[in-house]
Structure 1
Amino acid sequence: MIAINDLSISFRTPRGVVDAVKHVSLQVAPGEAFGLVGESGSGKSTVLRALAGLAPVVGGTLELDGQVLGNTRSPAFYRQVQMVFQDPYASLHPRFTIDQTLREPLVINGLDSHDARIAKALKDVGLPDTFRYRYPHQLSGGQRQRVAIARAMILEPRILLLDEPTSALDVSVQAEILNLLRGLHQSRGLTMILVSHNLAVVGFLCQRVAVMQRGEVVELADIDAIRAQRVNHDYTRRLLAATEGYRRTTSDAFAI
């Protein structure tokens, strides 16, 4: 469904050109949930934004279902590919009601039956129809992220791009959103790419994982190999060690 071939992305800054992504190649099968993990600044979100048409491609190609994507995307592309952003406090228009937020993509794409589609989108993400006339500031973080997911799903896309969709939420709310995303993935046969720095989150949703460091993919493995720590790169081992959490050492005992 998605083929990334030798992708490179650079940005000009006051200090010179920064190579954010260097020669990345990946393939994602139809209906697969694929994870991109790595520390902040590793290039994983930039790859996602390039797929969504939000970052310019310097080198290499991006393909969707066998078709090469240019820097300019057609309306048909955005019917197929939708993105959920990291911060639910920033991704919703503060002066739009939830009804306006969900109605806008329907108007832009010339779809009919707005009220029925909006009611179904809210139901699919576990929100009552009464939320339609609230504003984002009247919702919790988890509720806002549900609205953002509903906005992405209302066009019935084939591909969902998820940029750290739970990192701005409390742990209990994270679990609710992850369960929601897994349910949508299974019920609709979505192809998903999930960006996260948290291997536990990726392991919950994804079948395969690519590990990125300094703009490059340093490891590609299925989730069972990651869980069993059958990995080849030192950086992946360090990421796995970091997910094990804090371990008290003998020297800490003297600080009590």
Structure 2
Amino acid sequence: MIDIDRAHIRFRTRSGHVDAVREVSLRIEEGEVFALVGESGSGKSTLLRALAGLVPLAGGAMRIGGQDAARRPARDVQMVFQDPYGSLHPRFTVDKTLREPLAINGIGDQDARILAALAEVGLGPAFRFRYPHQLSGGQRQRVSIARALIVEPRVLLLDEPTSALDVSVQAEILNLLRRLHGERKLTMIVVSHNLAVVGFLCERIAVMRNGEVVEEAGIEAVRAHDVKHDYTRRLLHATQGYTRS
């Protein structure tokens, strides 16, 4: 479903440029849940944004379903952002937030689709005309997920989808994402610092450091600490230490 071939992403700065992603190549199968892990600044979210069409490539190529990612229909790839407080327009009701992508993509039967989208993420009709400030963090993230799914994408990109939420709410969102994957057979890429989140949702991971992929591994190998790169071992050790504390 997703073929990334030597992707290179560069940002200009006052002193020159920064190579945020360097020569990254990945293949992700249809229906797979794949994770990008690594420390802050490693290029994970930048790569995700490039797949969503929000950041241009300086080199390499990205294909989705065999088609150039830059030319594929926008509705095919949707993204859920890290911050449920900043990703929703504060002056839009939930109804308007969900109606907008339908209008942009020329999708009809909007009222029925909005009600169905809310029900799919566990929100009733009473939430339809509320504003973001009237919702909890978990409810806002559910609306963000509904907004992404309402146009029926083939690929769902999740940038730290639970990191801004309370621990109890994190579990609810993770269970929701796992159920949605099973029902819709979505291809999903999850960016996360939290290896517990990755272990719950994902089948394979790619470890990024300084804009490069240093290792790919199956989730069972990660659980068994059967990894090859020293950086991956340090990430696992750091996560284990945090969990024990």
TM-score (norm 1): 0.93
5+ long unaligned stretches in structure 2: none
Corresponding residue for 2:81?
A: 85
Tell me how far 1:171 sits from its aligned partner: 0.7
Alpha-carbon distance in 2 for matches of 1:216, 1:23 = 7
Alpha-carbon distance in 1 for matches of 2:151, 2:225 = 39
- Of residues 177, 186, 190 in structure 2, which corresponds to 1:181? 177
- Of residues 122, 129, 138 in structure 1, which corresponds to 2:125? 129
Structure 1 runs (4+) greater than 4 angstroms displaced: none
SS at match of 1:27: strand
Tell me how far 1:232 sits from its aligned partner: 0.4
Q: Where in structure 2 are the equivalents of 1:10-25 lying within 5 Å?
A: 10-25=10-25
Q: Where in structure 2 are the equivalents of 1:1-256 lying within 5 Å?
A: 1-70=1-70, 73=71, 77-246=73-242
Cα deviation 1:82-120 (Å, max 9, x = unaligned): 000000000000000000000111111111111110000
Alpha-carbon distance in 2 for matches of 1:15, 1:178 = 41
Tell me how far 1:68 sits from its aligned partner: 2.0
Tell me how far 1:45 sits from its aligned partner: 0.4
Alpha-carbon distance in 1 for matches of 2:157, 2:197 = 15
SS at match of 1:244: helix
Alpha-carbon distance in 2 for matches of 1:104, 1:182 = 26
Aligned residues: 244
Q: Which has the larger radius of gyration?
A: 1
Alpha-carbon distance in 1 for matches of 2:210, 2:166 = 28
Alpha-carbon distance in 1 for matches of 2:149, 2:214 = 32
Amino acid at match of 2:63: E
Percent identity for Structure 1 against Structure 2: 70
Alpha-carbon distance in 1 for matches of 2:53, 2:76 = 13
Corresponding residue for 1:251?
A: none
Corresponding residue for 1:253?
A: none
Question: C-alpha root-mean-square deviation of aligned residues, in Å?
Answer: 1.1
5+ long unaligned stretches in structure 1: 249-256
Amino acid at match of 1:55: V
Amino acid at match of 1:219: E
Tell me how far 1:200 sits from its aligned partner: 1.0
TM-score (norm 2): 0.97
Corresponding residue for 1:254?
A: none
SS at match of 2:6: strand
Tell me how far 1:121 sits from its aligned partner: 0.3
SS at match of 1:245: helix
